[in-house]
Amino acid sequence: MIEKLCKILSNNQVAPDTYLIRFSSPEIASEAVPGQFVMLRINEGFDPSLRRPFSICGVEGEDVVKILYKVVGKGTKGLTYKDAGDSISVLGPLGKGFSTPDPLKENFLVAGGIGIAPLLFLYQKNKSAKIHFLSGFRTSGEIIDPGTAGFDAEHMIATDDGSAGYDGRVTGLLAEKLEQYKPDDTCVYTCGPHPMLKAVRDECLKNNVPCQVSMETFMACGLGACQGCVVKSDLTAVKTPYLHVCKEGPVFDMNNIDWESK
Amino acid sequence: MIEKLCKILSNNQVAPDTYLIRFSSPEIASEAVPGQFVMLRINEGFDPSLRRPFSICGVEGEDVVKILYKVVGKGTKGLTYKDAGDSISVLGPLGKGFSTPDPLKENFLVAGGIGIAPLLFLYQKNKSAKIHFLSGFRTSGEIIDPGTAGFDAEHMIATDDGSAGYDGRVTGLLAEKLEQYKPDDTCVYTCGPHPMLKAVRDECLKNNVPCQVSMETFMACGLGACQGCVVKSDLTAVKTPYLHVCKEGPVFDMNNIDWESK
Amino acid sequence: MTDGPDISVKLGNLNLKNPVMTASGTFGYGKEFDSVIDLNRLGGIVVKGISLKPMPGNPPPRIVETPAGMLNAIGLANLGIDGFLKEKLPFLKTLDTKTIVNIYGHSIDEYAELAGVLKGVDGVDAVEINISCPNVDKGGLVFGKDPEVSARVTEAVAGNTDKPVIVKLTPNVSEITVLAKAVEQAGADCISLINTLTGMAIDIETGKPKLGNVSGGLSGPAIKPVALHMVYQAAKAVKIPVIGIGGIMTAEDAIEFLIAGASAVQVGTANFVNPKASIDIIDGLIKYCERKGIGSIQEITGSINVDK
Amino acid sequence: MTDGPDISVKLGNLNLKNPVMTASGTFGYGKEFDSVIDLNRLGGIVVKGISLKPMPGNPPPRIVETPAGMLNAIGLANLGIDGFLKEKLPFLKTLDTKTIVNIYGHSIDEYAELAGVLKGVDGVDAVEINISCPNVDKGGLVFGKDPEVSARVTEAVAGNTDKPVIVKLTPNVSEITVLAKAVEQAGADCISLINTLTGMAIDIETGKPKLGNVSGGLSGPAIKPVALHMVYQAAKAVKIPVIGIGGIMTAEDAIEFLIAGASAVQVGTANFVNPKASIDIIDGLIKYCERKGIGSIQEITGSINVDK
Ligand SMILES: Cc1cc2nc3c(=O)[nH]c(=O)nc-3n(C[C@H](O)[C@H](O)[C@H](O)COP(=O)(O)OP(=O)(O)OC[C@H]3O[C@@H](n4cnc5c(N)ncnc54)[C@H](O)[C@@H]3O)c2cc1C
Ligand SMILES: Cc1cc2nc3c(=O)[nH]c(=O)nc-3n(C[C@H](O)[C@H](O)[C@H](O)COP(=O)(O)OP(=O)(O)OC[C@H]3O[C@@H](n4cnc5c(N)ncnc54)[C@H](O)[C@@H]3O)c2cc1C
Ligand SMILES: Cc1cc2nc3c(=O)[nH]c(=O)nc-3n(C[C@H](O)[C@H](O)[C@H](O)COP(=O)(O)O)c2cc1C
Ligand SMILES: Cc1cc2nc3c(=O)[nH]c(=O)nc-3n(C[C@H](O)[C@H](O)[C@H](O)COP(=O)(O)O)c2cc1C
Ligand code: FES
Ligand code: FES
């Protein structure tokens, strides 16, 4: 893990409000596993001051790291002002990633919106496995096309309003697909907004399918030091009442999380 | 006076740490007089939050306003990140400018470093007057050439280290020049760092020459509302103990300022 | 839309067309912002603090910027109550907004005297008492740090005025609720908070304080979380209306204060950053009410949901 | 240059190789930053606040960013003193830096007991008492807001320890000097300040507080001016050494605190923004001394020049 100024190679819009930033870091490119994240310092001033966490969405060759991000507030807005050639302070790779997909199983990657980011990296690193990549968006205009971000991932799309692909939530699409396989032969990996994660978990629970969830919370340190990033744990599965997303996560077994609290 | 988002036309380095920014504002371009200033908002965040004051250094045609600025801290540094096409919030024109040079007199414009900015505008607006433009820099490498900022002003240069032009401070050069004219036929206009202004004032006092000084202080509102920008007045000339640089200045008769305080 | 939401508010018997006032010391006497915004749109203007006699203020530097804030040590420079009435009030009277006169004294008697001078004066809609200044009778201790002294200042003013009395609290205290209750009982019609937090900055090259007065008052976005919490606590502690102040830059900030329990807000440092801030905030409040289907802005006050 | 400036400092009988410590709660138990910086370069590490029993902490969200700062309501989550001694201290003992254990109790007896457990423990170089937490015996009133209670906590710890005792003051008080003097008299070897300012933030879409605990503590550059002023005041009021804390992000900030009267500093929120902040600050202090021709950093302490 490093904290370094990294040179930005490109920072371009790839979908509405969605950008792909590429920077150079041999250390992170070689070390990172899918599901891990980095903390980026947005600017020199102190508004905003805290770093922002972003999943690694892929690496290129020996030293290029890629982040796919959506503009939702001042930090992500500030990030769009960075140009190729500028430097950015990067801390990472951080956290625990996804466990490696079993090549003998049917692996379902289920993305909600920008949650596609870590799953693209998981896909990239596991091309030989049997991967079903499902991703949900609110509407066709918001679809993030992996191709524009430099990925050859083929994904089945669901849109809430039915304007493209499967008509409905991605969990509906998942339910349809899961029916076709035996639970013991399947595994789900998911990332997206909290309500969607909960729906995916419910579906997996119903079908008795194991599921790894990538969680999001506010973070300050990213290093397990501040204890700011906790989620409630399911005390029937875990001994401690809270789990630290930055250190024990961001990827968790769905059974370790208390999905009723928020 | 307006407060508006103005389109930036260019923002280029013209000397070491020194930039010329041009933006479009028909209102300011038509209304402004030399010595007046604008307050620029640097960014959307709140660090820095207060606007920064800059003298208008010239106008082009009906709607282009020009600012010459030197990078000294985070506000001016932030300004360098602005590109042509970006917008910037501008408040102005503000304050009281120089009184118009008397065409029958010898008018000495005495600049110290970046203090050249308002004097360039004074020069631009009074080409028919008899102008002697003297400017002082620490060393030849720091000279701001009016040509690179789009001005045809010819100036006599003094450098503290003698690396170009007159060898010594610009006040030495001024002293030499003043000797050649009758005090009653001369008038001095000056802008620069405080110690230099004081030296110019001493020279003018000695020679009995009237002098208008453009002063700098920290400012919050620029509108005469906060009372943050005061300088001590000379109570033998002025009734109130403090003068507001943003409203009663930034240009003052040298006799109104208490030069001993500070 | 013909019928917008009702954004008028009542602060006791002070009625404002909207809950947005400009804070004392940040808006001069109104006139200074006349060419930048339409002053008639404001809920009210709180003028710069006025004393009995003209005051020159502190030596410069009087302001210094800090991250997301600023320190000021203006020293309550003002032209005195007589100068105010003669030179500044006539313009304010021409406006379709409320004028609130912020007053401060060096002793309890001075506060009472100031209230007396303003009694019956047309065009003065309320008096706001600044108790965040040194009490000469008590060796310079700040009035507002002592709840008992604050209560006596409040009584002295309330007993000598025909205007609504707003008491403006200092945040530099251990328990804001004690102070709030003390001035409520002493007859305040309304409380406003917070005034600035005490702070300082040092020039490491010279070893000198960056402010001529050594210390000064911190304002701006930096202090908003502190202000919001004190407003929340004070609003729970008293029955009189509360005016929220401190780091309000946007409509979103103003709404936070209303939700926390404020009936109105004052906008201070924001006027420097964005001279149109107060107008933008009024527009933002209207939009928020429309979007949320809120008929009267008064519904928002104190609507905080603290069920865990 | 073979002979750099001497940047070691003495805080009573606690000697630090340089005046830069990391602040409690922002640096875990040291280990968390091991792969980012060389921990052996630090003047000291103040560990996360430790209580007698393990504490789960508050429900999330526990942090929220504010302009130039952040609010936290971690709820003093920690693994308890026994867990600390078993799981965390062994690593800290391997380091060439000082370990300062920040302790907090729910009653005066708990503080005394904690001190007792740490008595004679090798590898613990000092105890820092966090008095900014609720006193169960007094209905949840914060210990540190009451100078008398603070003095009694100090006595209880000082009377039951063989370590230097640092008392960490809360800034949420009317007169920091009264508090500082009270704990000095009660036997503190050193005071550190400031802890966080109380603040809050509200989500205007839901009307709920943004922190699970409703209110939290404000830290970061936003509070620096307030912290600096309190350190300045406290250092004038007491004879024991003062440790400056609050919004220190750079060497320049640290120097301001030293000039104001601090003998050392603690770096908190900066560790999140720049995990190398403490090291950058140490390097910056050395450069400053060199540039200014300062032989020993202790010369800077209290060198403020307030002649107007
Ligand atoms: C481990 C991890 C990995 C992430 N990976 C990615 C990624 O690959 N791409 C990407 O675009 N984003 C990712 N995020 C989310 C990203 O960190 C936030 O969107 C970003 O921090 C928002 O910063 P901002 O200043 O733009 O928004 P803010 O102004 O801070 O907030 C804007 C809005 O977003 C909400 N918000 C902010 N941060 C979070 C959060 N962490 N969780 C939930 N809501 C939040 C706020 O409540 C607010 O409503 C990740 C978060 C985590 C914890
Ligand atoms: C009426 C007026 C006209 C001006 N015109 C110009 C101009 O045309 N071009 C130009 O480059 N600058 C001009 N200035 C100065 C300019 O406003 C400051 O350089 C700028 O505000 C510094 O901002 P910053 O954030 O970069 O520096 P900061 O980080 O705020 O400060 C950096 C350093 O500069 C010093 N400093 C900052 N502001 C001032 C000030 N107002 N007076 C003295 N010292 C200061 C600080 O003490 C500090 O040492 C003018 C100032 C005034 C008041
Ligand atoms: C430059 C300046 C001058 C001020 N003068 C006064 C004053 O005269 N009387 C007063 O009660 N408050 C005064 N204040 C305090 C403000 O009215 C307000 O309470 C404080 O700044 C917090 O609000 P803000 O963060 O929105 O600025 C002043 C504040 C500033 C910044
Ligand atoms: C996340 C977080 C946790 C903290 N936990 C503690 C603690 O356990 N004990 C304590 O005395 N102070 C605690 N503090 C306060 C800091 O040690 C420090 O006093 C305060 O943050 C101000 O310094 P800063 O602005 O440099 O962060 C905590 C601060 C933060 C931000
Ligand atoms: S972000 Fe600090 S512990 Fe997780
Ligand atoms: S800057 Fe506000 S009065 Fe001059």
Length of chain A: 262
The average pLDDT across D240-264 equals: 98
Residue A225: which pLDDT band, with cuts at 50, 70 and 90? Answer: very high
Closest CA to C192 of C235, C254, C229, C134: C235
Residue among A19, A65, A216 to mutate when testing ligand 1 (max atoms within 8 A of CB)? A216
Cβ neighbours of A51 (radius 10 Å): 25
Q: What is the mean pLDDT of chain D?
A: 95
Could you tell me if B259 lies within 8 Å of chain C, comparing CB atoms? no
Which ligand minimizes its atom distance to the CA of B250?
Answer: 2
The average pLDDT across B177-191 equals: 90
Could you tell me if A47 lies within 8 Å of chain C, comparing CB atoms? yes
Assess contact for D129 and D51: CB atoms under 8 A.
no
The three-state secondary structure class of C308 is coil
Catalytic residue among D23, D42, D133, D258: D133
Nearest CA in chain A to D78: A227
Nearest chain A Cα distance for residue D56, angstroms: 7
Structure tokens at C258: 């209303």
The average pLDDT across D272-278 equals: 97
Burial class from Cβ neighbours inside 10 Å (0-12, 13-18, 19+) for residue A180 reads exposed
Please tell me the predicted confidence (pLDDT) of residue B168: 92
Closest CA to C111 of C103, C99, C119, C121: C103
Assess contact for C201 and C64: CB atoms under 8 A.
yes
Dist CA C40 CA C19 (whole Å): 13
Closest CA to C58 of B227, B240, B194: B227
Which ligand minimizes its atom distance to the CA of C63?
Answer: 3
Could you tell me if A242 lies within 8 Å of chain D, comparing CB atoms? yes
Q: How far is the CA of C117 from the centre of ligand 2 (A)?
A: 42
Phi/psi of residue A112, each to 5°? Answer: -120, 115
Does the pLDDT value for residue C31 go beyond 60? yes
Catalytic residue among C133, C166, C193, C231: C133
Closest CA to D224 of D181, D180, D268: D268
Q: Are strands B87-94 and B2-15 parallel, antiparallel or unpaired?
A: antiparallel
Assess contact for D98 and D8: CB atoms under 8 A.
no
Assess contact for A134 and A108: CB atoms under 8 A.
yes
**Which alpha helices (H) appear in C186-276, and where do they start and end?**
224-237, 251-260, 270-273
DSSP D64-113: EEETTEEEE-----B-HHHHIIIIIHHHHHTSSSEEEEEE--SSHHHHHH
Assess contact for D147 and D159: CB atoms under 8 A.
no
Closest CA to D220 of C110, C226, A118, B13: C226
Dist CA A172 CA A134 (whole Å): 11
Does the pLDDT value for residue B133 go beyond 50? yes
The average pLDDT across A78-99 equals: 95
Share above pLDDT 70 across residues of chain A, in percent, rounded to a whole number: 100
Assess contact for D150 and D215: CB atoms under 8 A.
no
Please tell me the predicted confidence (pLDDT) of residue D1: 47
Does the pLDDT value for residue B128 go beyond 90? no
Does the pLDDT value for residue C275 go beyond 90? yes
In angstroms, what CA-CA distances link D117 with B221, C246, D42, D249? 57, 44, 26, 34
Please tell me the predicted confidence (pLDDT) of residue D150: 95
Q: What is the mean pLDDT of chain C?
A: 95
pLDDT tens-place string over residues B155-175: 899 999 989 889 999 999 999
Does the pLDDT value for residue B192 go beyond 50? yes
Q: How far is the CA of B223 from the centre of ligand 3 (A)?
A: 16
Please tell me the predicted confidence (pLDDT) of residue A119: 95
Dist CA D239 CA D11 (whole Å): 11
Cβ neighbours of D52 (radius 10 Å): 18
Cβ neighbours of D168 (radius 10 Å): 28
The average pLDDT across C122-138 equals: 88
Q: Apex CA B205: angle with CA B201 and CA B210, to 5°?
A: 80
Phi/psi of residue A173, each to 5°? Answer: -60, -45
Burial class from Cβ neighbours inside 10 Å (0-12, 13-18, 19+) for residue D206 reads exposed
Dist CA D101 CA D49 (whole Å): 7
The arrangement of strands across the sheet holding C197-200 comes to: C63-66, C69-72, C215-219, C197-200
Please tell me the predicted confidence (pLDDT) of residue D101: 97
Burial class from Cβ neighbours inside 10 Å (0-12, 13-18, 19+) for residue C245 reads buried
B231 lines ligand 6 (CB under 6 A): no
Q: How far is the CA of C172 from the centre of ligand 3 (A)?
A: 14
Q: Which of C2-6, D52-56, D134-138 has the lowest mean pLDDT?
A: D134-138
The protein residue with its alpha carbon nearest to ligand 1, atom 9, reads: A69
Q: Which atom of ligand 2 is nearest to the CA of B229?
A: 53
Nearest CA in chain A to D276: A3
Contacts with A194 (C-beta within 8 Å, 6 or more apart), sequence order: A216, A262
Does the pLDDT value for residue C278 go beyond 60? yes
Does the pLDDT value for residue B104 go beyond 90? no
Dist CA D170 CA D142 (whole Å): 9
**Peptide linkage before D282 cis (omega within 30 of 0):** no
Assess contact for C212 and C58: CB atoms under 8 A.
yes
Structure tokens at D245: 């804390």
Which ligand minimizes its atom distance to the CA of D57?
Answer: 4
Could you tell me if D215 lies within 8 Å of chain C, comparing CB atoms? yes
Dist CA D129 CA A226 (whole Å): 19
State which amino acid sits at residue C290: E
Contact residues, chain D, for A89 at CB < 8 Å: 274
Contact residues, chain C, for D244 at CB < 8 Å: none
Does the pLDDT value for residue C308 go beyond 70? no
Structure tokens at B242: 């403090």
Cα-trace Rg, chain A: 18
Could you tell me if B83 lies within 8 Å of chain A, comparing CB atoms? no
Could you tell me if B85 lies within 8 Å of chain D, comparing CB atoms? no
Contacts with B89 (C-beta within 8 Å, 6 or more apart), sequence order: B3, B4, B5, B6, B40, B41, B51, C274
In angstroms, what CA-CA distances link A88 with A39, B9, B79, B258, D66? 10, 27, 19, 48, 22
Nearest CA in chain A to B77: A44
- Name residue, tokens 């907090």: D104
Contacts with A77 (C-beta within 8 Å, 6 or more apart), sequence order: A71, B44
Structure tokens at D45: 């590490």
A224 lines ligand 5 (CB under 6 A): yes
pLDDT tens-place string over residues B12-21: 999 999 999 9
The protein residue with its alpha carbon nearest to ligand 1, atom 19, reads: A72
Which residues 10-69 on chain B approach chain A with CB closer than 8 angstroms?
Answer: 43-49
The average pLDDT across C225-236 equals: 98
Structure tokens at D277: 């902040």
Length of chain B: 262
Assess contact for C240 and C192: CB atoms under 8 A.
no
Cβ neighbours of D227 (radius 10 Å): 28
Contact residues, chain B, for C225 at CB < 8 Å: none
The average pLDDT across C182-205 equals: 97
ipTM of the complex: 0.96
Does the pLDDT value for residue B257 go beyond 60? yes
Does the pLDDT value for residue A159 go beyond 50? yes
- The reply to whether residue A45 touches residue B47, judged by beta carbons under 8 angstroms, is yes
Strands (E), A37-81: 37-40, 52-55, 58-60, 64-70
Please tell me the predicted confidence (pLDDT) of residue D308: 55
pLDDT tens-place string over residues D17-37: 999 999 999 999 999 999 999
Mutation site, A47, A52, A87, interface B, largest B CB count within 10 A? A47
Contact residues, chain C, for D197 at CB < 8 Å: 197, 225-226
Taken in order C100, C104, C108, C113, the sign of the CA dihedral is negative
Could you tell me if A220 lies within 8 Å of chain D, comparing CB atoms? yes
Does the pLDDT value for residue C204 go beyond 50? yes
pLDDT tens-place string over residues D177-215: 999 999 999 999 999 999 999 999 999 999 999 999 999
Please tell me the predicted confidence (pLDDT) of residue C1: 47
Mutation site, C178, C204, C231, interface D, largest D CB count within 10 A? C204
Please tell me the predicted confidence (pLDDT) of residue B149: 77
The average pLDDT across A123-135 equals: 90
Structure tokens at C53: 């006699």
The average pLDDT across A131-146 equals: 92
Closest CA to C38 of C14, C20, C11: C20
Does the pLDDT value for residue B50 go beyond 50? yes
Nearest CA in chain B to A42: B45
Active site includes D133?
Answer: yes
The average pLDDT across D66-80 equals: 95
**Which alpha helices (H) appear in chain A, and where do they start and end?**
26-31, 74-80, 116-125, 170-178, 194-207
Nearest CA in chain B to C79: B240
Closest CA to A65 of A20, A99, A130: A20
Closest CA to C127 of C39, C188, C40: C188
Structure tokens at C145: 């740090």
Assess contact for D159 and D112: CB atoms under 8 A.
yes
Give strand pairing partners of A40: A52, A90
Q: Which atom of ligand 5 is nearest to the CA of A246?
A: 4
Phi/psi of residue B173, each to 5°? Answer: -60, -45
Give strand pairing partners of A188: A108, A211
**Which alpha helices (H) appear in chain B, and where do they start and end?**
26-31, 74-80, 116-125, 170-178, 194-207
Could you tell me if B179 lies within 8 Å of chain C, comparing CB atoms? no
Does the pLDDT value for residue B73 go beyond 90? yes
Which of D173, D198, D255 is opposite residue C229, by nearest beta carbon? D198
Assess contact for D145 and C175: CB atoms under 8 A.
yes
Please tell me the predicted confidence (pLDDT) of residue C222: 98
